[in-house]
Structure formats: C-alpha cells, structure tokens
Chain A
Amino acid sequence: MSDAKLATLVARLNEDAASPTAKWTFEGSIPFGDSGGIGADLPRVFRFRLGNGLRLLLLVDKSAPVLSYFTWFRVGSRHEKPGKTGLAHLFEHLMFNETEGLAANEFDRKLEENGAESNAATWLDWTYYYESLPKDRFQLAVKLESERMARLVLREPQVASEKEVVANERRMRVDDDVEGTANEILYKTAFTRHPYHWPTIGWMKDIENFTPEDCVAFYRTYYAPNNATVVVVGDVAEKDVLTRIRDAYGVIPSSDIPEEDTQPEPPQGEPREVTLRKPTPSEKLLVGYRGPALGDADHETCVILNEILFGGRASRLYRDLVTVREACTEVRGWVSTFRDPGLYELYFTARPGIASSRILEALDAQLERVRTELVDNEELGRAKARLELGLLQSLETTSGKAEQIGFYDTVLGDPAAAFRRLERYRRVTAGEVRTAARRYFVDARTIVRVLPEPDTEASPVSAEASA
C-alpha cells in the first residue's frame, strides 16, 4: 500500500476513534532493504503513532503464512537503581504470569494452543517480548500483549516464584559459568559510575530481596504505551492491524516516563586488572577497551576492524593464536551495540598449559600492527562480505526482520538502520580502520584473567603448545 493510501486509511479510521488517545498518526514510511545503489523497489516499514504515544512499525511480508509481533519497551537494566538491579529482567519472567483477565499459565497456554512461538529478552537499554503466530492469529497477539501491558498482576506468590527461577537462571548463566562470571566482572570493573556497571540479570542479593511493591512501581512507570513500540512483520492486512491495535491499546493511559538520570562514565585513565580462580581446565582472558556507542560515527568502522581481527578462521587473531601459535581454542571479539559507549570486548580461551600472559603478548603485537599498518584491501573485502552475509541471514524469518526493525528503532530511532550501516560498511577505508584502532586500543583497558583451580587444571595436550 502506498503512503498516500495509508494516510487516507488512517484518516478514515480516526473518524470513528473512541477518544483522542485512540487516534492514529501516520508518520511516513522507510524503505527496508539493500538498495545497493540501484534504487530497487524495496519493501517499506510504515510508521504510526497512537494518541496515547504507542508507536507501531509495520512491514507487510507475505513470504510465509505467519506473522511476528514484537513489543519493545524502552527500559532496560540501565534504568534500575543500585540495590534493585535485575528488576527489568525479572519482568521478562513476570510478564508471562497472571493478568487481571488471565489466570496463571493462561497466557502461555493461549499462545501455545494457537501454535505460537514466544519469548522475551532484556538488556542494558531495552526489553522486548514477542510471539510469532500463524497469519490468521493476529488478533490473539494484540489481545494478549495489550492485556499484559496494562493489567499485570504483581502479588507475592507470582514474584516469589519468579525470583527463584531467576536465581537459577543466574546460577546457570553466571555463577557456574566461567565466561559468564568473567564477563560480569569485566563490566563491573570497567564501569564505575554508569549503570552498565551492573549485570542485566542483577546481583543475587538484589534478586532475593525484590518485593511486589518494587515490581508494581517499576511496572507503572515503564510499562506504558508511550514507552513502547509494537513491531508487526508478516502476512497481514494494514487496515486489520491498525483497527485491532487501536481498539485494544487506545484505552490504555500513557505514563509519566521519568527523565533518565544516568551518570556518564568518566574516561578510564588507567589499566585495570582482576584475576580470579574457577574450576576450569585452562586459563581464560577477557580484555575490554572502551568502545563507541552504536550511534557513534565510527561504530561501523570498529565493526569492520573487529571482523579483520576476529571474524572467521582467516582473521588475524584466529590465525595467529589458534592456528599458528596453538595458544587458544577460541578467540572472539565484539563491539558492544549499546546506546551509550560500551566496551570493545575480546575473549580468549587458552589451551591447557598456556598462560594468559602469552596470549596478551601476542594480542598486543597484533594490535600494534593494526595501529601502525594499513589493512589490505583483501582483508577489508572479506570483512565487508561477512557483514553482508550476517545481515541477510538475520532477515530469513519474519521474527528476524521484526527484531532488526525493533532493535534499531529502539536504540537509534531508525527502523532501517541495518541497511544504512551496511552502506557505511561498504565505504569504510583502510585509513579509517587504522584511526579507529589508534582511538580505541589504548593502554587504559580492563583485563580479567581466569586461572584454573589447581585440582581442575588440565595437563598440556601437546609439548609444542606448552613450549
């Protein structure tokens, strides 16, 4: 449907809106696809806003008889306070519980008996809930999501049970997981003032102490239409989507979303290092450099740099540390995709008998090289091709498209930013990569070393590797 037709449709629907909060505003559309510079006829994401502030992003996609329905809330662990960490993530669990209109377990039961896939995710900057359904079940998604946005029941039994589940999730992901523990310590050490200091899942003590009152206050503040964006992708009709969402959400009042009170993280002026012991067979090394925010001009350049260093088996660090030196079984790098400047994280699993100091020496040599020499065009081309492949892979399903749209809209305000980033990847030069390396790979980094407990340390598996 064209923009003009949609504008006409919205005007017609608004004629019988029950209240001003139930009136749509059509905010235009954005092409969603890789034009490749040839002006191809691309599908479009349509943008709407309801009178109560709810935003809707719609991509009609008839490639399969299914639809995906995501609700993104602009609340994450960065909005928590010390002593109440993990509250945003606890909601990821509570939101599948009882509502005023649905008994416990009924939410999931209704989804499942209609063939839905559903889940949720919470991170530093956001929380989302989604369900994917057969295309004729759109109404169910609207009914259930609008219900839990406004009528969640938060009493002692629901909160107590989910606290226990989250405590077990924390044991699995953090306390009994070597990498999980090390990653938590990395952020705790690298950030001293910004809320990225604490883990999204929360400190165990905070999880144990949540009260229903904490939950009610958080819910009333952040779970409101004017703090949410619904993303619909799939085999749906525009009029049906607009009518049903308006009728279900139009009556929900907006909330006074408090202005964020985030302390920016001061520059890291010195190297920081933490060493711990865990029951693991070999050493692990995490290195965190202060990285760019997702919206910073050189984020894409850092992503290219990361591909050259860590992307695939032909990358510099994989080749050096896994293939040639046989010092690691795994090397990874990741440039955080957060709203505020995060970390450029590097992770290394040493082979048994290899000290992390040897890995660090090799890493430093590689980083010095990329700071001083230009990467060659072959490496640049490989990095760009890998990133293009990754983007296309993320768009294979309706839920993949909805996640891309919702993520970039929530963090950057642009539902099609994935494609704009692809265009920028293509323009990144070797000189820009070297500049980014000089800017971010500085001495003031954070290092976390995990050493094996003496009784779990494995013997070196080869004389060559431990020489």
Chain B
Amino acid sequence: MTNRFDLDGGAVGFVESSSAVPLVSLVVSVRSGAIVDPEGRDGVCRFAARMLRRGADGMSAQEIESTIDRLGAELALDVGPSTVSFHGQVIRRNIDPFVDLVARILGKPTFSPDEIARLKRESAAELVESRDSDRALANLAFRRTLFAGHPYSRSAAGRLSTVATIERDDVLAAYERHFVRGDVVIGFAGAITEDEAKRLGATLVAAIRVGSRSETKPPEPEKRPGRRLVFVDKPERTQTQTLIGSLGTWPHDDDHHPLVTATAVLGGTFTSRMMREIRSKRGWSYGTSARLSIERRRHAFTMSAAPGVADCAPCVELELQLLEDFVAKGITKRELAFIKNYLVRSYAFEVDTAPKRLGQAMETELLDLPSDYHTRYVDHVRAVTLEAANAATSTRLSAKDVVIIVVGTASETLEAVQKKIPDLASTEVVPFDAD
C-alpha cells in the first residue's frame, strides 16, 4: 500500500514500505519538463537537471560522484515532456547520508561556468553519437512529424544548434523555473518506514526553493490529414526501422481503457496480430509491436517493426493493412476475452516490487491521471466491452491519416516503399545526420 503525505510548501510525498531487499529507492520529481524549454533553447531543462550533480554546496562534481559510489548508491535522471525525475537507489544503511547528498545537489547547485561549458561539449558529442541508433532516429523523426508545431515534437536532449546556444543564465532560469516546492513530488520505496520517509522527505523539501505549483500544461496536439512518409536516409543499412502512427489516447478519455485493451490485441503480446503476421508467419522482423503512450495531453499511437531491406516495402504495406483492418473491424470477442485475461493476470508483475508500486502512485500524481487509474486498473480492463473497444479503435485511430517513418538507405528502399503505400500524400527524405 503506497501512502501519500503532504510536505511543506505544497510538495507531496509517497512511501511504499517493503522489507524484501535491504535497499531504498528514492524518486524526486517535479511537475514540469522539457516542453517548456524556451524557443531556441531546446534541451535546457534537461541540461539544467544534469548540471545539478556537477557541483553543489562546495562539493565538486568528482566529490559528488565519489560520494554516491561510496554510499553504494545510484542516481539517474529522466526528463520527459512534462516531468523531471531523479531516480536514486541506495543500500539501506546509507539512506540518511544519501538523502543529505541529494538535498545538497537539489538545493545548492553551483552551475560553475567551466562545468557548463564542459557539459555543452559533452551534450553535443552525445547528440552526434545518438545517430548510431536507428531506432532512436526513427523515434525522433516520428515525434517531429506527428507533433510538428507542438511542444511534444521537441526532444528533451535538444538539438546541436540549440544546445550550443545555452548560457549560464538560461540554466539558472530553467533551474528556478522547474525546481520549486510546489511542483515537487518525492517518493520512497523499500526498506524504509513511513516515519523515516516523512523525516527524509522534509529534509529534501527544505533544500528546495519556495515556489508555487506551476505544472506543465501543453495544448491539445492537432490531427493532420493524409499519409505522410518521412524517410531517414542512412548509408549501408541491411535492415530498416519502421514506425507507423498517429495521435492516440488521453488517460481521461472515456474510451481510454477500451483503446488500450484493443491495441494490446494488435501488438501488445507475443501472440498479437502483428507478431503473428509479421514475425511468426513471414519472419520479417525480430520484434514488432503496437503501443499507446500516455502524457498530460493526447499522445502517440505507434506500430513498429524492423524488417530487412528486401522485406521493408511489403512489411509497411502489411502494417497498413493490419491497421486498416483494426480500425474498420476492430477486434473479435475471442480476442477480447484473451487479452483481458492477459492484462488482468499479468498485472501481478506491475506491482510485484515496492519501486513499481511507488512508480504507479507517482505517475498518477505527476501526469494528473485519474486517481484510480492504476489502483483500479484491473477493474477498468474487466469492464471493457467489445462494443467499447471497437468504437474506440474507429473513433480514435485512422489508417488514412498516419505518419510513416522508415530509417534505411533511400537509394535501395525508398521507391519500393512509396509504391506500397496507397494514397501517399507526401514524402520527405531526411539525412540521418540532420540537426
């Protein structure tokens, strides 16, 4: 049972106690993220968050890193469109000094000009290096195309051109904008009592500036018509990455759970339609799936596969056929019964550790999900009817208005792919090393 408690200045705490392993997980999050980066400063929120551990309260970056390791701890950063989260874990006996360290990092960052310059160079190198991942290239192109003009199109890491312009004042402004008590949500899980969590939560909150809740509220993304192909051109590919998708769901939609349930039939399991048709019958792709992501506003529906060059065009054609069929005819009664069993019974693995249970509570708080989104998940799935599932697929999704991303070698694959997409409205070829 995850308990919620109030902290000073509007901050919120959670604790999920468990004696299973002598570890304590700590999550410190804020309710604002990368989508509020100022125009031309994409990446500054993440940049500011990364700077926190690079010098604080008289400690150098090296001293901070050494202390984290000496305590038997880890501290990772996750910056999303609407949230920033530090995920820590520490051996139980060192929870107090670890929290003290995190408080110093959060409350008194140095933002030394030398470290800022160093991180700018490091970030630029990482952005260049990320071009080695074809899947990452596909995701980036998909987000930029589907959400063009909307803050969701931005990458939390920024672009080479925008990271280069970040100055210390931008970093300070981002820190002051994001890290205020009113936006802070703190969670503890594992070998810790509720009293300890309250005490340590208070220590953390005391280190953070007073400030009222601002939370990121993005506008509703706009739906665009037509089938739009973006081909990310990269040399010497023996395999391609495909992403097909559109706007998807919002957790407050009446048909959210029906759509999530139906999408699992399409591509959410080893025996889903996509796995059966693309992998099992044809052997075209090692992995293939469909998913819906959730955010504060309607986010993406995606179908993905990774066919070899020779199979790319027919695979895209098949994926579009599967989508057309899914939208037009929905799922069957037998499929619904199967997937409900899967989702309900496998829920045990969504809550089998204290950090996972804490994660659900914090996600509900941070993304402003319906209060029973996770706690009554099983009931929501059980309540899905065939009519509701099929109404959701035809209402929310479309096979005609989709973004199609292919990462491959254009000279070998593009023309064949274009021929297999009926009613293709536009094609854009993007170099893989574009900013």
Contact = CB atoms under 8 A, between A and B. Distances in A.
Same complex for A and B? Answer yes
Contacts of A64: 20, 348, 351-353
19 contacts: A64-B353, A66-B352, A116-B346, A132-B349, A134-B348, A161-B280, A161-B281, A162-B283, A279-B236, A323-B118, A326-B121, A326-B122, A326-B125, A329-B125, A349-B129, A378-B66, A396-B20, A396-B353, A396-B355
B239 A112 contact: no
Interface string B9-37: 00000000010111100000000000000
B132 interface: yes
Contacts of B124: 461-462
A458 B431 CA distance: 13
B125 A115 contact: no
Most chain B beta carbons < 10 A, residue from A112, A116, A378, A458: A112
A176 B348 contact: no
Given A115-B348, A161-B280, 10 more contacts: A66-B348, A115-B344, A115-B347, A168-B286, A176-B134, A279-B234, A326-B122, A389-B23, A396-B355, A453-B235
B68 A312 contact: yes
Interface in A98-119: 104-105, 108-109, 111-118
A326 B347 CA distance: 45
Contact of B238 (A169, A175, A352, A398): A175
B93 to A, nearest CB: 10
Contacts of B134: 176
B341 A351 contact: no
A382 interface: yes
Contacts of A434: none
A5 to B, nearest CB: 25
Nearest to B269: A112
Interface in B3-61: 18, 20-23, 61
B128 interface: yes
Interface of B: 18, 20-23, 61-62, 65-66, 68-74, 89-91, 118, 121-122, 124-126, 128-129, 131-132, 134, 160, 234-239, 269-271, 276, 279-286, 306-308, 338, 341-342, 344-349, 351-353, 355, 433
A209 interface: no
Interface string A273-286: 00000111110000
Contacts of B122: 322, 326, 329
Contacts of A112: 269-271, 338, 341-342, 346
A455 interface: yes
B280 A104 contact: yes
Given A112-B270, A175-B239, A312-B65, A351 B22 contact: no
Given A352-B125, A382-B69, A389-B72, A63 B308 contact: no
A77 B25 CA distance: 38
Given A171-B308, A329-B125, A378-B66, A63 B344 contact: no
A35 interface: no
Contact of A311 (B18, B69, B131): B69
B280 A114 contact: no
What 10 A-B pairs have minimum CB-CB distances, sorted nearest first?
A115-B345, A164-B283, A385-B72, A461-B124, A314-B65, A115-B346, A171-B239, A382-B69, A64-B352, A169-B286
Given A311-B69, A385-B91, A461-B125, A455 B308 contact: no
Nearest to B338: A113
A99 to B, nearest CB: 15
Interface string A433-454: 0000000000000000000010
